[in-house]
A and B are shown apart, each in its own frame.
Chain A
Amino acid sequence: MTSHRMQHVVPGLAIFVLASIVTWLSFTQQPAEAFLFPRVISVVFIILAAWNLIRAVTGMSKVGRGIPVDTLKNLAPGLAVMLLYVFFGAKHLGFYLGSTLAFFAIYSFYDPASWSSVKDWIKRIFVTAAFMAVIYALFAVVLQVHTPRGILF
């Protein structure tokens, strides 16, 4: 099996498993009336998921490049910051502090400018501070959204 075909089989299989779980739950959960519409959807869902999986296994699924290893390597740090930010930082550090750190981390990591230049670091700090000031003005002052405060703000 070629790597391109394998790239399509894995998500195809994942979607088929999801469709199977949805179908199983739709037909086993009670009351039946509440699951009438989900049952109709799940039947179509599992048929299409099976069709998609068969196309992937037989190499007929050609749309989409998949996710190359280089892309994954590029994504990994940003994705890690994203997950830490949303599932930990925003709630425990506070929305504004968590957002400031996430913005600064992502901007700094993906910024093609030099990591050894003090001038570039000052620019990154300035851009982060300016952006977060705008966000604070918009959400805290104008829209008055009350965000989790965490350990700081």
Chain B
Amino acid sequence: MEFLNYFGGVFEPWAFMLLLGGTIGGLILGATPGLSPTMAVALLIPFTFHMSATHGLVLLGAAYTSTVAGGAVSAILLKIPGAPANIATALDGNEMAKRGEGARALHMSFLSSGVGGVIGILLLIFLTPVLAQWVLKIQTPHVFWIAILGVTVIGSLDSKSFVKGLLSGCIGLWLSTIGYDEIQGTERFIFADALSGGIGIIPALIGLFAIPQVLDMMAKGRVDALVEALEVPKQKLTASLRELTRYVRALSIGTVVGSIIGLIPGVGGQIAGLVAYDQSRKLSPQREKFGTGHPEGVVAAESANNAMVGPSLVPLLTLSIPGSPTAAVLLGGLLIKEIFPGSDIFDNHPEVVWTFINSMLVGQVLMVIFGIMIAGWAARIARAPAPIMAAGVLVLAVFGSYSVGQSVGDVHIMLALGIGMFILEKFGFSAAPLVLGLILGPIAGDNFTQGMTLAAAQDGPWVYFFTGTLNIFLISLVIASIAYSFWNNMLAGGKTPAAEPAGREAK
């Protein structure tokens, strides 16, 4: 119950202001089609440089929580999911809105997001310290395998093609080796001056997540893409609360599925929402109503994608392995504040970490309150014309990546990675495994090099890296994640249409 000691920090005026601003801003950003939670958090990171670690993380945590929930607004009122995590929400939510039940759908969405989110954060609170103790037993070769596992899991599960998923992860790992190797004191793969300092995580994250979305908006050309938002007639909140109690099954399924998927490194909200929706439909006596505007569909999807948020931070805070692509961006936010996840994070930075986690718990409540209050007009604000958004995001991306190290080289790297990622995405590659490779690469590399040195003094690399219960267990998980994805690809091989669109990464 140590977390209770740090609740006061959340209600300090500046921290609370940031929490409030992050929540409201996140709801609007989340409701804006084309601006994903991952991109929103990536673009916010430069604004946290001048803040204390606690305040910066409060802002990023609030944005993470509310952008995921805010995506439901445009999914319901515009039938355009604000983020991939809200795809399943649009299926029933928009049908409800068309029937004039937009307010009911939004209430169901935010209330179930809140319930799922609170349970998810409670899991984070109680699981993380336990896992952090277990992490104490982990040694160099295990950390190496855990980092590789993070890349293979996301590479396998987040892509429609497992070869391309793993290839993306591999490209990310290679990119992480560019720059000056401090252990050996030598340069690696420096093809241009801008690369001499290596590829910074923040410029890379901004480039990989923001620039492809800018280019996607431009790719549509001069079209008036505005979609009319459906009207939101008023509905009593108490009626919605009573109604929610009728959907306990969907709420439970969504929360459990979201929590479990959040714990799996790198998987993210898109999968959580869709799996929960599918399971709720299968287990519902009214399964034929799903897809026709059934509130159970909204409840299952939204409780799942917000329940995923808390648990996605469990592997992040203990093992440095993010549970979702947005959590990967948060890891970047932690690292620039020199907070290194691991077994001792709660000993070294208890105030920062607990205030951050507590703020996410309070943020869930604020998200429900403000979500219900502003949903109607958030959808209208979110209909900012695509040309303004494209130009605005580009300028923010340039300023954001420059302000990290005050280096024009970082801006060049950001744009080069962004354009490269846009092209790769069009051919079925995904940004998430690449980002995980880039973030986990140094962890894997350092532990591999250290392990090889230790192994040379002991029984050799084979014994050091491939024997022992934990090594074998982790290697089995790596193989299982690849085999599972390979098997799924084989099964789907005959059914995949010739020109299936490339999936945007789960955010």
Contacts and interface: CB of A to CB of B under 8 A. Distances in A.
B174 A45 contact: yes
B215 interface: yes
Size class of the A contact interface (CB-based, 8 Å): 35 or more
Contacts of B424: 11
B463 interface: no
B239 interface: no
A118 interface: no
30 contacts: A34-B188, A37-B444, A38-B174, A48-B166, A51-B163, A60-B493, A63-B159, A63-B428, A64-B425, A78-B215, A82-B394, A86-B415, A87-B412, A90-B398, A90-B408, A95-B398, A95-B399, A102-B395, A103-B391, A110-B222, A110-B387, A111-B222, A112-B224, A112-B385, A112-B387, A131-B392, A135-B396, A143-B50, A143-B403, A145-B399
A136 to B, nearest CB: 10
Contacts of B183: 33-34
A49 interface: yes
Contacts of A86: 398, 411-412, 415
B467 interface: no
Interface stretch (B53-61, B97-105, B295-303, B495-503): B495-503
Interface in B357-401: 385-388, 390-392, 394-396, 398-399
Contact of A40 (B390, B402, B448, B493): B448
Nearest to B159: A63
A95 B496 contact: no
A127 to B, nearest CB: 6
Interface of A: 4, 7-8, 11, 15, 22, 25, 29, 31, 33-38, 40-42, 44-45, 48-49, 51-52, 55, 60-67, 70-71, 73-75, 78-79, 82-83, 85-87, 90-91, 95, 99, 102-104, 106-112, 127, 131-132, 135, 138-139, 142-148
A75 B166 CA distance: 29
B181 interface: yes
Given A48-B166, A90-B411, A91-B408, A38 B395 contact: no
Contacts of A65: 426, 499-502
A107 B408 CA distance: 24
Interface string B55-80: 00000000000000000000000000
Contacts of A49: 167
Contact of A102 (B163, B391, B427): B391
Contact of B387 (A25, A111, A143): A111
B218 interface: yes
A143 B174 contact: no
B160 A63 contact: yes
Contacts of A83: 415
A145 B406 contact: yes
A17 B167 CA distance: 13
A66 B402 contact: no
A147 B391 CA distance: 19
B177 interface: yes
A61 B502 CA distance: 12
Given A36-B452, A99-B399, A63 B502 contact: yes
B388 A145 contact: no
B219 interface: yes
B220 A74 contact: yes
A142 B50 CA distance: 9
Which of A62, A73, A85, A131 lies at the interface centre, i.e. has the most chain B CB atoms within 10 A of its CB?
A62
Contacts of B160: 63
**The 5 residue pairs across chains A and B that have the minimum distance between CB atoms:** A64-B428, A63-B428, A34-B184, A110-B387, A74-B221
B149 to A, nearest CB: 14
B106 interface: no
Contact of A61 (B161, B222, B399): B161
Given A79-B215, A110-B221, A148 B408 contact: yes
Contact of B423 (A42, A67, A78, A142): A67
Interface string B19-53: 00000000000000000000000000011011000
B484 interface: no
A133 B159 CA distance: 40
Nearest to A34: B184
B500 A64 contact: yes
Given A64-B426, A106-B391, A111-B387, A95 B174 contact: no
B206 interface: no
